[in-house]
Amino acid sequence: MTRPRLATCSLTGCFGCHMSLLDIDERLLDLADLVELDRSPFDDKKRFDRPVDIGFIEGGCSNTHNVHVLRQFRTHCRTLVSVGACALYGGVPAMRNVVTLRACLEEAYQNGPTVTCGGHIPDDPELPLLLDRVYPAHDIVRIDHFLPGCPPSADAIWETLRALLTGQAPDLPYPLLKYE
């Protein structure tokens, strides 16, 4: 019997949401029975070669490569889930949204207190172009479900996966979504 396929990606995030998924601990064995892993940092697969049932998005979009990857996920994943504060709101990287991109780059590479000699703003053509601001995933593509938290707990991720794998919309109990 073919198993549902799961893909994950980290855009502009810290991989903490992926670490939280790994925190489901022994349930990883159940997960391995329930799904087939497709494109993901966990298996280092970098391309889709067939449709995927569930896509987990970590991180917001801060550059053109993020947008490209996110659109690929939308094209290939039947259900797309924004996982964590960075995907939902931009998170910590979106702190740069309060200044212009130019001001941010000048502070980081030329004028900031940690710059010791006149720095050069990276401009190698191989680098993805930075966007004017950091965008949440749902500003770029349609997102089907949202899982907040920084990171969402392992239990919240597990319950979300279990719901989706049984064809239900995730409806997590309050204790799993309460952050104090």
Query: Least distance in Å: CB of 162 to ligand SF4?
Result: 20
Instruction: DSSP for 69-80, please give it.
Output: HHHHHHHHEEEE
Q: Which is nearer to ligand SF4, 5 or 56 (CB)?
A: 56
The CA distance from 135 to 83, in Å, is: 14
Q: Which is nearer to ligand SF4, 119 or 130 (CB)?
A: 130
The CA distance from 137 to 9, in Å, is: 12
Instruction: Tell me how crowded residue 47 is: count the other CB atoms within 10 A of its CB.
Output: 8
The CA distance from 42 to 159, in Å, is: 20
Q: Which is nearer to ligand SF4, 15 or 111 (CB)?
A: 15
Q: Which is nearer to ligand SF4, 106 or 172 (CB)?
A: 172
Q: Is 148 exposed, middle or buried (0-12, 13-18, 19+ CB in 10 A)?
A: middle
Strand runs (DSSP E) across 26-143, as ranges? Answer: 36-37, 52-58, 61-63, 77-83, 130-135
Interacting residues toward ligand SF4 by CB under 6 A: 13-14, 16-17, 58-59, 84-86, 91-92, 150-151
Instruction: Tell me how crowded residue 30 is: count the other CB atoms within 10 A of its CB.
Output: 13
Query: Least distance in Å: CB of 166 to ligand SF4?
Result: 25
Q: Which residue is nearest to ligand SF4 (CB)?
A: 16
Query: Least distance in Å: CB of 92 to ligand SF4?
Result: 5
Q: Which is nearer to ligand SF4, 19 or 121 (CB)?
A: 19
Query: Least distance in Å: CB of 125 to ligand SF4?
Result: 28
Query: Least distance in Å: CB of 55 to ligand SF4?
Result: 16
